[in-house]
Amino acid sequence: MTGYIIRRLLWGVALLVIVCALTFVVFRIFPTGNPALMRAGRDPTPRLVAEIERVLGLGKPLTVQFWDYLKNVFLHFDLGYSYYSGESVRSLIAERLPATISLTVGAAVLWTLGGLGIGILSALRRHSLLDRAAMGTALVLVSAPEFWLGLVALFLFAEDIGKWKIFPGAGSYVPITSDPWKWFTSLIMPWFVLASGAAAVFARLTRGSLIETMEEDYIRTARAKGLPERQVVRQGVRSAFNPIVTLLGLEIGTLLGGALLIEVVFNIPGVGKLAYSALLQSDFSVIQGTVLLAAMFVIVANIVVDIAYAYLDPRVRYS
Amino acid sequence: MSAAEPLLRVEDLRVEFPSEDGVVHAVDGISYQVHRGRTLGIVGESGSGKTVSSLTTLGLTRRQGASISGRILFAGRDLVTLPEEQLRAIRGNDIAMIFQDPLSALHPLYRVGRQLAEAVRAHQDVSKATARASAVELLGLVGIPDPARRAEEYPHEFSGGMRQRAMIAMALVNEPRLLIADEPTTALDVTVQAQILALMERLQRELGMAIVIITHDLGVVAEMADDIAVMYAGRIVETAAAPLVFSEPEHPYTWGLLKSIPTLDRPREEDLVPIPGSPPSLIHPPSGCHFHPRCPYAQPEHSRIDPLLVPVPTEPSHQVACLLEGDERRRLWAALRAGRTPEQALADAGETGALA
C-alpha cells in the first residue's frame, strides 16, 4: 500500500514536469507576442526593450530558460513575475485562491450531495414521476454550457439586471472574512450554475450504478437475511459508490475549467479570472502559473481518488 | 411425524411476472409440503420455476411485480398474504436461504464476519460483540478453520467451498426451522460438493431443521432428499419418496432426467439419452401436457388435455401428472431400464400391449 502511494506520487511529479514542458512549449516557443515589448510601455526605445529582455532572461537559449523555470518552480515554489504588472505570480495566485476555493468547494459539495441524492431517489423510484423529471432536467443540464447557464441565471435572478431580483448579481463577491453572509449570498448562483452540469452527470451515473447493484445476488442475500430495507439499500449504495468516486476524480478537471468561465461571467476575482486576464494580455508567467496550479489539483485529486478507491474496494488493495 | 401438520405447506401456488413479451407463468399451480426434520428435493431444468417458487416463499418475488396466488402455510401462517414487515421477521430467522453462487451472493465489500453478525442483529436484540461471537462460533461449526481470523477477511479471500460454508453459516446463525438451498453445490468442485452436502446433513441432524433443496442434479437429491418433486415448466409433474423416484419413476420427463445422467455402473457402450428439445417458453407454455412437444410417447390428444397430478394406484403418496396409461408407463420404463432407446421402448410396448 505504501509502495503504491509512493509510486503514484512520483508519477504525479513526473506529470507535473510534463505539464510544465507543455505550457512552456505552447506559450514561449509558439509566437504569440513579445512580452518585453508589452512590459516596456508606450513608444519604447529599442534599448529599453533589449534591457527588459535581458532582465527576463528571454535572450537565453530555450533549454536554459526551461531549466531555470523548472528549478524555480520545484525548488523555490517560485512561479516567476507577471510580465504585465511585475508582481510575483505566486502572490497573485495566493491572493485569488480563496475566492476560487470558495467557488469550487461549494460547487463540489453541492454537486456531490445533489447528484448522489437525486440519483439514489431516482434509482429507488425508477420510472416514477420524480425519476423522469430528475433525469429530464439532468439531460438539459448536461447539455447546457456553463457560461450560458450563468448568463441565463443572471438575466433571470440577479438583483441588478434580473427579471426576478433575488440574488446578488455579477461582481458582488466579497471575501468570507469581511462579510460571511454577503459572501454566501453572492456565491449562491455561481455555485448552482457551476454544480449543475456535474451534478447532472453524477445523478445519472449514481442512478445507473445503483439500479445495477440493487439487482446483484448479494442484495437478494441481504433481503433473504431479513435485513430492514434501509440497510439493504445502504449495502447497494456502498457498492454503487466505486464508479462514482472514480468520476469524482475525473470531474475535478471539469470543475476547474468551469470555475474559470463562472468567475468571468460572475466577475469573481479568483484564479480563473486571473488566468483569463493573463490570456488576454499574453502574460505568460501568470498563465503558466495558473495552468500548473490547475494541473497540480487534477493530479493530486486523482491520486487521492486512487487511494480512496483502494480503501473502498478491498479487492484492489493488494494488486 | 407425517401425520402431524407439515412445517411448510404450499397449496396451488401460482407466480406470474409481467414482462415486455407477455405474462411469464413462472410457477403454475404447485402444491407440496415439508415436514420437520425432513428434506424435500425439487428437481428440474433451469426455467422450470423451482427457484421462483422458493423465492416466493421468502416473499422475495413481491417487489419484482409478481402476482402471486395460492397459499404458502408456514407454521400456520400464510406467507402469501403476510404483511412485509412480519415476513421480514421470518426471513433469515425462521426460514433461511442459501444460493447457488456464493461469491456473488456475499457482499464483496464487507468482511465475512460482519455479514454474519448483521444477520444475527436483524433478528436478535444483541450487542455487536455478541453477534460477532455467534458469527465466529457458526463459522467454526461449519468447518472453517481459525474462524476468528477468517471472520476478518473478505469473501474474495475465501475459496469457493469456504464461501459456501460461510453462506451456510450465515443462513444458520438464527437457527432456522426451514433451510432453502438453491443449487447449493452447483458452483463447486465435485469433492467440495460432497463436503457441503455432508455438512448440511450433519447440521440438519444437529439442529433438526427441514430442508428444501433445489437442484437440477439428481445425484444431489439422491444423496440428500427424503422426498422429491420433479418440476417442469412451472408445474410439479411427479412427486414421491426419493427411493421410489429412482426405482419406479412414472413420468416420461423423470425417465429422461434419469437416462441423461452418466453413472458408473451402466455399461459404457450404452448411450446417454438426452431429452430432445429445449425447455418451453413460460410466456406461451405448450397446450395440454406441457411436456408433450418433447415427449417421445405423446399422443395427439395430449396436446389438448391438461394432466392432473394424481396418485399412482399402488402407492398413494406417489403422484404423477401424465396422460399415459399406468400399465403402459410401467412397460415403457421397464424397456428403458433394460437399456432400450425411447423408440425401441415404444415399439416393445406396442407389441406387448395396446397403445391408447
What are the sequence ranges of the domains in chain A?
Answer: 2-76, 93-312
Contact call for A228 and B118, based on CB within 8 A: no
Whole-number Å distance between alpha carbons of B236 and B312: 15
User: ipTM surpassing 0.90, yes or no?
Assistant: no
When CB atoms are compared, the residue of A222, A227, A239 closest to B109 is: A239
- Is the model's pLDDT at B3 over the cut of 90? no
Contact call for A221 and B105, based on CB within 8 A: yes
- Which residues, other chains included, contact A252 with Cβ-Cβ below 8 Å and sequence gap of 6+? A297, A298, A301, A302
Radius of gyration of chain A (CA): 24
Architecture of domain B1-94+208-324: 3-Layer(aba) Sandwich (3.40)
The minimum CA-CA distance between B32 and chain A, rounded to whole Å, is: 21
Contact call for B122 and A224, based on CB within 8 A: no
Q: What is the pLDDT of residue A78?
A: 84
Q: What is the pLDDT of residue A31?
A: 59
Q: What is the pLDDT of residue A182?
A: 93
Mean pLDDT over B254-261 rounds to 87
- Is the model's pLDDT at A50 over the cut of 80? yes
C-alpha cell recorded at residue B39: 428434506
Residue A181: pLDDT band (50, 70, 90) is very high
List residues bridging with B77 in a β-sheet.
Answer: B74
Contact call for B96 and A313, based on CB within 8 A: no
- Is the model's pLDDT at A156 over the cut of 90? yes
Residue range A93-312, CATH number: 1.10.3720.10
Whole-number Å distance between alpha carbons of B187 and B161: 9
To 5 degrees, how large is the angle CA A192–CA A193–CA A198? 90
From the list A197, A192, A235, A201, the residue with the least C-alpha distance to A215 is A235
Residues of B in contact with A245 (CB under 8 A): none
For A169, phi then psi, to 5°, come to -90, -155
- Is the model's pLDDT at A240 over the cut of 80? yes
| Higher-scoring residue by pLDDT: A192, A5 | A192
For residue B86, the chain A residue with the least C-alpha distance is A226
Burial per residue of B133-150, b for 16 or more beta-carbon CB atoms within 10 angstroms, e otherwise: ebbbebbbbbbbeebeeb
Residue A94: exposure state from Cβ atoms within 10 A (0-12, 13-18, ≥19): exposed
Whole-number Å distance between alpha carbons of B187 and B201: 19
Secondary structure percentages of chain B, helix, strand, coil, to 5? 40, 20, 40
- Min mean pLDDT across A92-106, B103-117, B276-290 is at B276-290
- Is the model's pLDDT at B214 over the cut of 80? yes
pLDDT in tens, B153-179: 999 999 988 999 999 999 999 999 999
For residue B152, the chain A residue with the least C-alpha distance is A314
pLDDT > 90: what percent of chain B? 63
Is residue A288 within 8 A of residue A80, CB to CB? The reply is: yes
Contact call for A218 and B122, based on CB within 8 A: no
From the list A223, A235, A217, the residue with the least C-alpha distance to B90 is A223
Residues of B in contact with A224 (CB under 8 A): 58, 60, 91-92, 96-97, 99
Contact call for A226 and B110, based on CB within 8 A: no
- Is the model's pLDDT at A165 over the cut of 80? yes
- Is the model's pLDDT at A252 over the cut of 90? no
pTM for the model:
0.82
Whole-number Å distance between alpha carbons of A138 and A122: 11
B175: left (phi over 0), alpha (psi -120 to 50) or beta: left
Residues of B in contact with A217 (CB under 8 A): 99, 101, 104-105
Instruction: Count interface pairs A-B at CB distance under 8 A.
Output: 73
When CB atoms are compared, the residue of B92, B108, B154 closest to A225 is: B92
Please give the mean pLDDT across all residues of chain B.
89
Strands (E), chain A: none
- Which residues, other chains included, contact B243 with Cβ-Cβ below 8 Å and sequence gap of 6+? none
Does residue A86 sit at the B interface (CB-CB below 8 Å)? no
For residue B122, the chain A residue with the least C-alpha distance is A227
C-alpha cell recorded at residue A292: 500548473
Is residue B257 within 8 A of residue B275, CB to CB? The reply is: yes
Contact call for B170 and A226, based on CB within 8 A: no
When CB atoms are compared, the residue of B55, B92, B108 closest to A226 is: B92
Residue B2: pLDDT band (50, 70, 90) is very low
C-alpha cell recorded at residue A14: 513526473
Contact call for B104 and A239, based on CB within 8 A: no
- Is the model's pLDDT at A75 over the cut of 90? no
Query: Which 205-244 residues of chain A touch chain B by CB within 8 A?
Result: 216-218, 220-228, 231, 235, 238-239
pLDDT in tens, A109-144: 999 999 999 999 999 998 899 999 999 999 888 888
For residue B55, the chain A residue with the least C-alpha distance is A224
Contact call for B106 and A228, based on CB within 8 A: no
Q: Which of A209, A216, A221, A233 to mutate to test the interface with B (most CBs of B within 10 A)?
A: A221
